[in-house]
Amino acid sequence: MSIQAKIRDNRTEFMRPAATVMDVSRLGCLYPYPLSFMRSLLRRVMTQNWQIKPANISLDDEGYGHAIYEITTPRAVFSYVIFAKYLNPENRSDRVIAEDWDMTVTLCEGQVDTERLAKLKANVPLQEKGRVDTSCFVLSRANKSVRNFESVVTSLAAGQQPDLDAMAKVGYLYRTTAVYGSGKFGMADWDKVKSRWPDFGSPFDAEMFSCWMIRHFSLVQADHVAAKRSPETAVEMDEKIKRYVGIGNATGLGMAPYLINHPLLINNWIEVRETALARVLSMTVPDEIKRGHFICLALKAMQHLNEISTDNEDQNTLNANARKDLEQALKWFESDNISAWYELTDYAASHLSVEARELLNVLLLELYPDLISDLKDQLCVDEIYSLQANMRLDDLKKLIETHYAWALDIDYSDPKTQGIFWYRSEEKMEPRLGRRFEEPGAASEMLLGIGWYVCACYTDLCEFIVLHSAKTTTARFVFAHPQHRYITRRMQTMAKTRYGEIRINAIDLDVLPIQLLRCKLSFFGVGKFDPRSRMWVRNTMFQGAPLVSDIGSNIGDTWCFPIRPTVE
């Protein structure tokens, strides 16, 4: 078969089936890719040459005080406002229920004068207990990695660069513990952000920008404190090391309900990703240049995996196996002169772990950014889950059997399959898991066990059809069973999509919410996953990313799989 014949125009042929893609265990193996939100955002910041200037910096010798940065984009001026303070170590917690932080921030429209600064100062440090107005569109906070921050400052103050071993182990100076947007606490709604401030009009642009600025300030603060501590000897941190410093993040259960409650959006994100992969597989060939790029990138990814340090043995094993698998794939690739990339993915499908296969897919996507970059504009979707009132019940029944067979296959008579319930705690409404048959609170459970609701609806639907007629309408069914109206319109809507729902039984006793977390974080662009339990994960954002001072330089979008820098 000729190369041309192999490189098929029909991309649909390369779109993986929903049963493969939407399996939650696979989604829990996703890696960041070129259209991940922080990557797309920084490409735009760099190519549009955004100007980020300190407008009002007032810090004491310990780096406490406030800092305002003015951001000029092609369309508007924004301000990033930071409040840094001393935090009693006893109060330092990554949990959402914490009430005090080392750093609190907001991103807002326009410039900030004295009066506005005073209002922000009275509210931003309070976070959930404060109120801001609709000129603000991100509210966030971060805590120091105390040991690492102090170690870095001590080194810099002594005229030395930070210990790279320690930096490689931790990877950041500050850790964000919550990043709020979309109208929380009085902020601007997403619809306003999207329409009024298109510079932040892609999903999570503003939130990612905020994390990038926290990372920037953490570096500024470390240099500042070192210089104040020892003006005679202090040096600034080397720029290569600065780029290697990311921003830590702790993500818990709060992120998981988002994925289940926004199936249209998640379908869209997945479809964009799969379309990108299908384009690469169907439209490109591994010529000499791309072969070389691929080998370099694979080696970098292996080194990246090798350098990840976590105390979680399962994650260490996953990383080690992925690296080993990638090494095996690379050997095969170098010994076999393939004529199409899908030969490599076919090889991976039969020889490598799921983790390694997803990693390999990302390597291919990294080779052809220009081929897929336009897809970033398709990440947004208006989420409307409208009831199709006139759908005949036999059609509805068939729809469920076709698109929700995965849910109907769950045996809910087994207590284990509904052993967990999700609820909101009275502590800041923090989402938590309870054991259904052992702990109180199931009567207040959140609507997240989609499979269970599908099965309950299906059972009543079958009964209704027997009692009435298969030819009657969905409207009559949901009028008689109003408890099924939500799940019915959801199923009708999702059945029209290519990928549909994430296939997860979120109320199973053995559910692994961390798989959902990693899926979403990969779309953010987050790497270096460090699971602390099945319910929360530490990770690193923006490691290897350009610095604010890199804007205007020719630094490229090549910071995936960050590796330890070489510093002379």
Partner 1 sequence: MDGQAELYLSLNELRALLRRTYEALYHHGYDFAVMARSCLWLEVHGFDGIGLILRSLDDLETPCREIKLSETSQNQFVLNGYGRCLIPFVNAAADLAIGSAEENGFGQIDIINVFGRLNILAALKKTARLNLYSTAIWYDAGEARTHILWLNSSKDLPDYYILDESKDGPWGQSGLRFVCSKTADIISENVNVVLPHDAVPYKTCEQLARAHDLVLENGIPISVEAYSKLNKIADRLLVPSTDASRRGAGE
22 binding partner 1? (CB under 8 A)? no
427 binding partner 1? (CB under 8 A)? yes
Interaction with partner 1 in 227-266: which residues (CB under 8 A)?
252-253
Give 446's Cβ-side CA count (13 Å radius). 21
Edge-to-edge order in the sheet of strand 77-84: 51-59, 65-72, 77-84, 103-109, 136-144, 172-180, 246-251, 537-541, 527-531
Applying CB under 8 A, which of residues 139, 259, 478, 545 lies at the interface with partner 1? Answer: 478
Q: How many CB atoms lie within 10 A of CB 66?
A: 19
Applying CB under 8 A, which of residues 4, 335, 337, 386 lies at the interface with partner 1? Answer: 386
Task: Supply 454's token pair.
Answer: 């599908």
Cα four-point dihedral sign 17, 22, 25, 27: positive
409/439 with CB nearer partner 1: 439
What is the per-residue binding string for partner 1 in 527-556, x denoting contact by CB under 8 A? -----xxxxx--------------------
- What's the closest the beta carbon of residue 22 comes to partner 1, in angstroms? 22
479 binding partner 1? (CB under 8 A)? yes
Measured CA to CA, the distance from residue 266 to residue 490 in angstroms comes to: 13
516 binding partner 1? (CB under 8 A)? no
- What's the closest the beta carbon of residue 130 comes to partner 1, in angstroms? 12
Interaction with partner 1 in 73-102: which residues (CB under 8 A)?
95
| Contact by Cβ (8 Å): 542, 38 | yes
Encoded amino acid at 503, one letter: R
- What's the closest the beta carbon of residue 200 comes to partner 1, in angstroms? 16
Interaction with partner 1 in 129-158: which residues (CB under 8 A)?
131, 133-134
Applying CB under 8 A, which of residues 229, 476, 498, 564 lies at the interface with partner 1? Answer: 476
Q: With contacts defined by CB under 8 A, name the span among 68-76, 184-192, 240-248, 539-547 that binds partner 1.
A: 184-192
53/95 with CB nearer partner 1: 95
Binding-site size for partner 1 (CB under 8 A) equals 57
| Contact by Cβ (8 Å): 322, 356 | yes
Task: Please provide residue 98's backbone torsions phi and psi, each rounded to the nearest 5 degrees.
Answer: -60, 160
Bridge-based pairing of strands 77-84 and 65-72 is antiparallel
Q: With contacts defined by CB under 8 A, name the span among 21-29, 178-186, 276-284, 545-553 that binds partner 1.
A: 178-186
Concatenating the DSSP letter of every residue in 137-196 gives EEEEEEEE-HHHHHHHHHHHHTT----HHHHHHH-EEEEEEEEE-TTGGGPPPHHHHHHH
Among the listed residues 67, 66, 69, 37, the one whose alpha carbon sits nearest the alpha carbon of residue 52:
69
Q: With contacts defined by CB under 8 A, name the span among 230-238, 278-286, 383-391, 559-567 that binds partner 1.
A: 383-391
Q: With contacts defined by CB under 8 A, name the span among 121-129, 170-178, 180-188, 550-558 that binds partner 1.
A: 180-188
95/351 with CB nearer partner 1: 95
Strand partners, 179: 140
Measured CA to CA, the distance from residue 423 to residue 211 in angstroms comes to: 28
430/550 with CB nearer partner 1: 430
Interaction with partner 1 in 50-69: which residues (CB under 8 A)?
none
Measured CA to CA, the distance from residue 246 to residue 173 in angstroms comes to: 8
Q: Which residues of 131-159 are buried (b: 16+ CB within 10 A; e: fewer)?
A: ebeebbbbbbbbbbbeebbebbbbbbbee
315 binding partner 1? (CB under 8 A)? no
Bridge-based pairing of strands 51-59 and 527-531 is unpaired
199/274 with CB nearer partner 1: 199
221/493 with CB nearer partner 1: 493
- What's the closest the beta carbon of residue 272 comes to partner 1, in angstroms? 24
Q: What is the 3-state secondary structure (H, E, C) of 66-90?
A: EEEEEEECCCCEEEEEEEECCCCHH
- What's the closest the beta carbon of residue 78 comes to partner 1, in angstroms? 17
- What's the closest the beta carbon of residue 486 comes to partner 1, in angstroms? 4
SS3 528: strand
Applying CB under 8 A, which of residues 184, 228, 291, 324 lies at the interface with partner 1? Answer: 184
426 binding partner 1? (CB under 8 A)? yes
In which region does residue 133 sit, left (phi positive, over 0), alpha (psi from -120 to 50) or beta (all else)? beta
What is the per-residue binding string for partner 1 in 438-457, x denoting contact by CB under 8 A? -xxx-xx--x-----x----
| Contact by Cβ (8 Å): 132, 116 | no
- What's the closest the beta carbon of residue 484 comes to partner 1, in angstroms? 9
What is the per-residue binding string for partner 1 in 185-224, x denoting contact by CB under 8 A? xxxxxxxx--------------------------------
| Contact by Cβ (8 Å): 522, 204 | no
User: Which residues sit at the interface with partner 1, rule CB under 8 A?
Assistant: 95, 131, 133-134, 182-192, 252-253, 384, 386-390, 423-427, 429-434, 439-441, 443-444, 447, 453, 473-476, 478-479, 482-483, 485-486, 489, 532-536
